[in-house]
Structure 1
């Protein structure tokens, strides 16, 4: 295996108060390439003592950072955006090596992730307030927004750059300091991002990073410290619920982007070319390892067979392999546990009567690979209909009526994203309104953009990231009342 030069150059210690430091215990852990199962890098393994030191640094500079001019905060983000863009190739190579996604897709994430910094560099100077006269004319009220304070940021492994920029961008723009725990499976991209922010002029102590294989120890140290005033978490619903319970003790502000179980509805009047393209985008982005991935594909009976066959053709044409290899369209899953889960879900569906149109197995050799798979006539009792697949498996289920499609779409405790394909404008808005999700892809398989609010309802989370709403998550509203002369 050849380790990318960009990985070899990285500092893999903790980043606290502007300094790269080893874990106090001296502990380290390995980062593994999921395509080869070989060790890429050795990273400092922080614990509670390191977490407390990181929060100490963030608290120490919070007041000074909050007083920094909005334009200055915005310019730091703008410089970081430009540096990320300039280093697209090296950041993408790091991401592909530690996470597995094809290099072309990694470059797409670099562009997407960088855009959060550009967007929030512009939002920094647009933090607004208000003033009004009380109805009785006796008091004038001034409404202003101030940074919430030191923030706890916890990100997942599947989009290691974008998940960081989506949280760090608004926190920097709002004037908040941060303690940040990247995913242990993909810390290297986050460490590259930290280096860029330091180079862009982010002051010491504003962003502090603790890598760890014991997130419970590190994050609990932050969550139980009353000096931390906000938590922004992206990950599983069970972990999110635990963090919400911890946040309650200190009444912390919370942003939770949790699990999904996205329905993908195709009506018989849909343009099937558009629907197939949308399905490939919504299902196969990131090898299906995305919280907004199409998890349950419901197709009206009249076109279900044609849709399944055409989707299988598209999936069959994809090349599986190491994402660093040119022409590869599907990389490995992130780890053995993820691969085992996909195997179990597919086997269960087949045992319950699903037909395998393509795939349904894994290629021989090293790496955590699973072949792109289409299953048709999947039983509603199959585990994959209620479990987030997080893999390259499309489960197709026929339906008859619009009412049935809506009921199937909403038959889940989750409500992050949903997709709808139809050429009937009235149906488009009728079904969009009825779907219990935070985001609807109407005749498109892509819903996320830094300029738009991202988030879910029900057990898929609280709050929004991106858009003008994204910075509000890091601001508190203060009222100043003054007697009117």
Structure 2
């Protein structure tokens, strides 16, 4: 059975698992350039991607060469002049059509997102809904843009007005923790503001990006299986010209670096690790005019004051620490609690985590063997440094039947420990006491990163006093992970440069000029 038609029917976990079991060899993904699939045959050009739940080989991802990158960039470059001149209404209709297709088949995407990344199906459904929202939001945003007009009186009276134009070809590079959601967070505004793009998903989780391609095929193909003809008809009906959006697969040092260094790529939107963000800046340092938006790592603090209701604070702190097995850049992995309630909070948090975060039921595995090994090394270090394990343990050195790590709550961790300073990006949280408001702020800011923070208090004055002094691009007060899509998204310090969302995304994907008319 054709891969595309097969995957289209697999919209339940049971069907998908049965299909994977029946395969004689792993699924091989293909690049998608200018409305065509690109085949690869060299064994050395494939990257193995494993099922996080079982540790078994799931798919093989192309290790795209420089020629593949050039092909994709060339396609996007040729598509840009026409696409950049399309009307806002036309682009809006394309985005709404994409959102409608995703909505009709959201369970299919949730199933494959869960399999590919290891997250629970409930978590995957949330992220598919957010992906749909990305397209719908920018589809309507571009229909209601505002600009500024200014008048100058004098000997030469002038009217000055702002004009924005699409930047050009963008490199859109997304991470493995929320593959579909974060990929669409870049694709939607790129298309909306008239740019063209070459997207590179993480080589660790590429299945949902591939699913996105065959979703368009099946929606508009009337079940015909001649892919080139079908895709031409798909994008003809969607009014998205060939080359406007291309997807290539590969690793960061090879494929990703070649993509961002291309002189025809005029902007980069990247979400991922700080080390990769540094590499992107190094690769693009000589290209002064290239737009960069880099959303990087976080080691986010959760501050809990003694006026909170523990029945509300404990579940919120646990959710912020362990959602998606702690593999969200916004997770609160450093909890600081006022000493007056510290011991009580610690006991209740340990009990709550043990009851509500169970591997294989309410929490999934971590994404890969490499990541499992990394997290294990931090937990081994915690044991060596004398940290107290209130939940969890040091995992086996070798992962057996999947990459499972028990949610771990640590106390008695030194402030200068690597466990406290570095982003572990897993189901591991530290809990420490503080005595004063000033000390809480100092502890929160004592980290190279500054992406997000959570503040729990009933004191309205404290919400402002503390919230406005935390070094973080996003501060949640008595809540977490709720965000209106027009809100600026990004971090301070080592957590990146630039902001995206609403008008901030417009700044990323457009150039601003002012015209002075006599």
TM-score of the two chains, using structure 1 as the length reference = 0.93
Distance 2:106 2:359 in 1: 22
Query: Which residue of the partner structure matches residue 120 of structure 1?
Result: 138
Going from structure 1 to structure 2, the CA distance change for 1:340 and 1:29 (only over 3 Å counts) comes to closer
Over residues 384-414 of structure 1, what are the superposed CA-to-partner deviations in whole Å (9 max), with x where a residue is unaligned?
1001121111210111111101000001121
Shift of 1:465: 2.2
Per-residue Cα deviation, 1:218-249 (whole angstroms, up to 9, x for no partner): 23323332211100111111110121122221
Contact 1:13 1:20 in 2 (8 A): yes
The 10-residue stretch of structure 1 (121-130 or 30-39) with the greater mean CA deviation from structure 2 = 121-130
**Cα distance change of structure 1 residues 48 and 25 upon mapping to structure 2, 3 Å threshold:** farther
1:318 maps onto 2:356 in alignment: yes
Q: Is the 8 A contact 1:377 1:398 kept in 2?
A: no
Post-superposition CA distance 1:93-125 (Å, at most 9, x none): 111111100111111111112111111111122
| Equivalent position to 2:52, from 23, 34, 37 | 34
Equivalent runs, 1:452-463 vs 2, <5 Å: 452-463=487-498
Q: 1:220 to 1:372 in 2, by over 3 A?
A: closer
CA offsets per residue over residues 396-436 of structure 1, 9 Å max, x none? 01111111010000011211001100111111110001101
Corresponding residue number in structure 2 for 1:226? 263
Which consecutive unaligned segments of at least 5 residues does structure 2 have?
A: 1-13, 217-230
Secondary structure of residue in 1 paired with 2:119: coil
Aligned counterparts of 1:30 and 1:351: Cα–Cα separation in 2: 33
Could you say which residue in structure 2 is the equivalent of 1:341? 374
Deviation (angstroms), 1:319: 5.2
Q: Which moved more, 1:115-124 or 1:10-19?
A: 10-19
The farther-off stretch of 452-461 and 189-198 is 189-198
How many residues get paired? 477
Q: How does 1:232-381 map to 2 (within 5 A)?
A: 232-251=269-288, 252-318=290-356, 320-322=358-360, 328-362=361-395, 365-381=400-416
Q: Deviations over 1:306-328 (max 9, x none)?
A: 11111111211135445xxxxx1
* C-alpha distance after superposition, 1:250-281 (max 9, x if no partner): 12110000011101100111222221122122
Could you say what the CA RMSD is over the residues aligned between the two structures, in angstroms? 2.2
Gaps of 5+ in 1: 323-327
2:67 and 2:59 map into 1 onto residues whose CA distance is 23
Contact 1:151/1:231 (<8 A) preserved = yes
Give secondary structure in 2 for the equivalent of 1:317.
helix
Equivalence for 1:158: 177
Residue 317 of structure 2 aligns to a residue whose secondary structure is: helix
2:501 and 2:323 map into 1 onto residues whose CA distance is 20
Deviations 1:121-171 (A, max 9, x none): 111223333332234343322311111110011110000011111101111
Q: Does the 8 A contact of 2:27 with 2:60 survive in 1?
A: no
Q: Is the 8 A contact 2:27 2:58 kept in 1?
A: no
Q: Residues of 1 paired with 2:481 and 2:508: CA distance?
A: 24
Q: C-alpha offsets along residues 25-60 of structure 1, whole Å, 9 cap, x if unaligned? A: 573333210110112223333111100000000000
Q: Which is further off, 196-205 or 330-339?
A: 196-205
The answer as to 2:407 corresponding to 1:407 is no
Note the alpha carbon deviations across 1:69-113, whole angstroms, 9 max, x for none: 111111111111121121111111111111100111111111112
Q: Which moved more, 1:238-247 or 1:435-444?
A: 238-247
Any idea what the Cα deviations from partners look like across 1:328-376, whole Å, max 9, x if unmatched?
1111111122112222222322332322111124488411101011112
Quickly say closer, same or farther: Cα 1:47–1:6, change in 2 above 3 A. farther
Distance 1:10 1:164 in 2: 21
Kindly provide the CA deviation profile for residues 275-307 of structure 1, in whole angstroms up to 9, marking residues without a partner as x: 112212211111001111112111111111111
Residues 196, 125 of structure 1: CA spacing in aligned structure 2 closer, same or farther, 3 A cutoff? farther
Alignment of 1:382-421 (within 5 A): 382-421=417-456
**Which residue in the other structure is 1:177 paired with?**
196
Contact 2:141–2:502 (8 Å) recurs in 1: no
Q: TM-score, normalised by structure 2?
A: 0.87
